[in-house]
C-alpha cells in the first residue's frame, strides 16, 4: 500500500500550528491582559507565570513555518507574498515581547516602556495572526503557480474580524491560565475577565463561523451539503459543551477546568477550519498534493521529523511538569 506522504506532512504541519496556537496563545493572552492589571506586583507574577515556558512555545511556530517551506514549497511561495505585511507585523510583535521579558527586569526608570512593549507586542502578534488567518480563509488568488493578488488583499472586513476574534480568544486563554497559575486577588480578577472573554469569544466564533461558508462555494458545500453537513451539528454542540465546562469552572472556582475548556474551544475552531480547507492548503487554488515537494524529499524529511517531534514534545512536557502548580508571588523565574 502506498503511503500518502503529502497527507502525512499536512497533518504534521497542522499539528505544529495547533500546538503553537494553544501553547503560545495563553502567554500572548497574558500580555494582552497586562494593561488591565496596573499593580507592579501583579504584573511581575503574570510575567513569571509564563517566563519559564514562553520561549519553548515558539518552537512550534518555527517548526510549522520551516516545515511549510521544506515540504510544501509552492504553498510557501504563494502564501508569503500574499501575507508579507501581517507576518512581518507578527514577527515584530513577537520580538518586542521577547525582549521585554528580559529588559523589564533590568530597569526601573524605563520599566513602563517594556510594560507597553510586552502588552503591545503581544496584542500586535495576536491581531496579525488573526489577519493572516482571515486572509487565508477568504482565499488567495493563484495563477500559473504564483500569487496574482494585490498588496492589500489581506486587509478586508473579514480579516479584521478574525484578527479581533484571535485577540479576544487569546485574552480568554490568558485569563484562564492566570486562574490556574495564580492566587488571591489576581486570580479573582482573572475569573471576572475570563467570564467576559468567554461570551466575547463565543460571539466572535459565531460571527466568523456564519460568515465563512459564504466566502467560497467549497466552504458552503462542505458545511451545508450532505453528508458533511453533519459537522454543522456536531461542532457547534461540542462548542456549547466546552462553553458549559468553561462557565461552570469559573463559577465553581476550579483552577484547571476553565483553561482546559478554553483550549477545547480553540481546538474545535481549528478543526472547523480544517473541515473547511480540506483538501486545499491554499484555498481555493492549491490542494495538499499540488503544493507538495517530491516524495523522495518528503520521505527524507519525515525521517528527521520522526526523531525531532517526539524530542520537542518530551522537553515541552518536561518544562511544564517542572514548573507546574501555582506561581509563588515571593519568588521569580528571573
Q: Which three cell numbers stand for residue 90?
A: 507578527
Residue 110: pLDDT above 90?
Answer: no
144: left (phi over 0), alpha (psi -120 to 50) or beta: left
**Average pLDDT, stretch 91-103?**
90
| Interval 157-197: pLDDT, tens | 999 999 999 999 999 999 999 999 999 899 999 999 999 99
**What local confidence, expressed as pLDDT, does residue 144 receive?**
83
The Cα 249–Cα 200 span in angstroms is 17
| Interval 302-326: pLDDT, tens | 999 999 999 999 989 998 998 888 8
218 or 265: whose pLDDT is higher?
265
CA distances from 20 to 13, 26, 57 (A): 11, 10, 6
CA 15, 172, 233, 257 torsion-angle sign: positive
What count of Cα atoms within 13 Å lies in the side-chain half-sphere of residue 34?
29
Q: Could you tell me how many residues make up the chain?
A: 334
**Average pLDDT, stretch 15-34?**
92
Q: Give the chain's mean pLDDT.
A: 90
pTM of the complete model beyond 0.85? yes
**What local confidence, expressed as pLDDT, does residue 180 receive?**
94
The Cα 213–Cα 217 span in angstroms is 7
List alpha helices for the chain, DSSP H: 5-32, 40-50, 54-57, 59-71, 73-103, 111-138, 157-181, 184-211, 217-224, 231-251, 257-277, 288-291, 295-322
**What local confidence, expressed as pLDDT, does residue 13 receive?**
92
Omega prior to 227 cis, within 30 of 0 = yes
The Cα 67–Cα 94 span in angstroms is 20
**What local confidence, expressed as pLDDT, does residue 132 receive?**
94
**What local confidence, expressed as pLDDT, does residue 328 receive?**
75
| Interval 118-166: pLDDT, tens | 999 999 999 999 999 999 999 888 888 888 888 899 999 999 999 999 9
Cβ–Cβ < 8 Å for 162, 208: yes
Residue 334: pLDDT above 60?
Answer: no
Lowest mean pLDDT among 13-22, 49-58, 68-77, 84-93: 49-58
Residue 233: pLDDT above 60?
Answer: yes
Lowest mean pLDDT among 55-69, 79-93, 190-204, 243-257: 55-69
| Interval 56-78: pLDDT, tens | 888 888 888 888 888 999 999 99
Instruction: Give phi and psi for 142, each to the nearest 5.
Output: -130, 130
Residue 278: pLDDT above 90?
Answer: no
**Residues of 139-167 as b/e, b for ≥16 C-beta within 10 angstroms?**
bbebeeeebebeeebbbeebbebbbbbbb
Amino acid at each position: 500500500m502506498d503511503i500518502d506522504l503529502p497527507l502525512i506532512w499536512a497533518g504534521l504541519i497542522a499539528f505544529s500550528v495547533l500546538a503553537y496556537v494553544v501553547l503560545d496563545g495563553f502567554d500572548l493572552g497574558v500580555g494582552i491582559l497586562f494593561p488591565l492589571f496596573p499593580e507592579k506586583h501583579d504584573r511581575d507574577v503574570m510575567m513569571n507565570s509564563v517566563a519559564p515556558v514562553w520561549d519553548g512555545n515558539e518552537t512550534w511556530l518555527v517548526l510549522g513555518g520551516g516545515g511549510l517551506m521544506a515540504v510544501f514549497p509552492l504553498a510557501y511561495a504563494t502564501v508569503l507574498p500574499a501575507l508579507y505585511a501581517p507576518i512581518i507585523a507578527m514577527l515584530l510583535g513577537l520580538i518586542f515581547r521577547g525582549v521585554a521579558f528580559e529588559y523589564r527586569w533590568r530597569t526601573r526608570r524605563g520599566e513602563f516602556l517594556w510594560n507597553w512593549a510586552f502588552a503591545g507586542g503581544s496584542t500586535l502578534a495576536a491581531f496579525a495572526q488573526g489577519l493572516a488567518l482571515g486572509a487565508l480563509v477568504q482565499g488567495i488568488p493563484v495563477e500559473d503557480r504564483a500569487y496574482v493578488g494585490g498588496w492589500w488583499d489581506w486587509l478586508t472586513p473579514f480579516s479584521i474580524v478574525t484578527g479581533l476574534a484571535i485577540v479576544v480568544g487569546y485574552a480568554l486563554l490568558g485569563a484562564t491560565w492566570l486562574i490556574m497559575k495564580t492566587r488571591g486577588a489576581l486570580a479573582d480578577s482573572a475569573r471576572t475577565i475570563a467570564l467576559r472573554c468567554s461570551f466575547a469569544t463565543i460571539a466572535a466564533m459565531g460571527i466568523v463561523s456564519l460568515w465563512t461558508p459564504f466566502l467560497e462555494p467549497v466552504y458552503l458545500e462542505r458545511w451545508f451539503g450532505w453528508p458533511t453537513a453533519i459537522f454543522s451539528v456536531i461542532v457547534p454542540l461540542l462548542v456549547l459543551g466546552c462553553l458549559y465546562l468553561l462557565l461552570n469552572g469559573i463559577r465553581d472556582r476550579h483552577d484547571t477546568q476553565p483553561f482546559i475548556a478554553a483550549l477545547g474551544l480553540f481546538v474545535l475552531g481549528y478543526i472547523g477550519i480544517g473541515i473547511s480547507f480540506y483538501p486545499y492548503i491554499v484555498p481555493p487554488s492549491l490542494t495538499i498534493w499540488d503544493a507538495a515537494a517530491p516524495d523522495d524529499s518528503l520521505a527524507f524529511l519525515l525521517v528527521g521529523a520522526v526523531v525531532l517531534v517526539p524530542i520537542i514534545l518530551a522537553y515541552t512536557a518536561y518544562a511544564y511538569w517542572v514548573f507546574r502548580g501555582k506561581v509563588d508571588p515571593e519568588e521569580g523565574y528571573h
